[in-house]
Amino acid sequence: MASNSPAQRNGAPNISEETVKEMIAVQKQTLTIKLKELERDSAEIEFNKKIAQSSIDAQERDRKHEREENTKRQSHKYYFGLAIVVLIFAFSAYALHLGRTDILMDVLKVVVGFVGGLGFATYKTRSRDKDDDE
């Protein structure tokens, strides 16, 4: 049996026009579904992006508040230290005015001992923290 159509001569099956229309309709539906999936994925990505941005904004606000609080605490520490130094100088001046250098020397020994102990404790704490980090 010899066939006369070009499709049959090349070994391709004979497909009816109705079958081609059905295949096109199925491909159209498939493309429509894929387009809806892409739209859904795009909407999901946008939603996740908004959530991530709001999370970043919240973290930024928290860190800003934390920095402000640390700055306030640090300035309060400086003011407290300054007040202590002024009180020590005032006490020293008053003791020198009265001629009581013996009391001044005793207070000076206590203050130097306290500051030295505080410095040593800070040194030990920092060296221990460095050891823990390594």
Angle between helices 101-133 and 17-98 (to 10 degrees): 160
The DSSP code for 91 is: H
CA dihedral 87, 89, 92, 96 (to 10 degrees): -130
Question: Mind listing the pLDDT tens digit for each residue in 115-129?
Answer: 888 888 888 888 887
What is the overall mean pLDDT for the chain? 85
**Residue 112, amino acid:** V
Q: Answer positive or negative: Cα dihedral of 64, 69, 74, 78.
A: positive
pLDDT digits (tens, 9 = 90+) for 64-76: 888 888 999 999 9
| pTM of the model as a whole | 0.45
pLDDT of 4 above 60? no
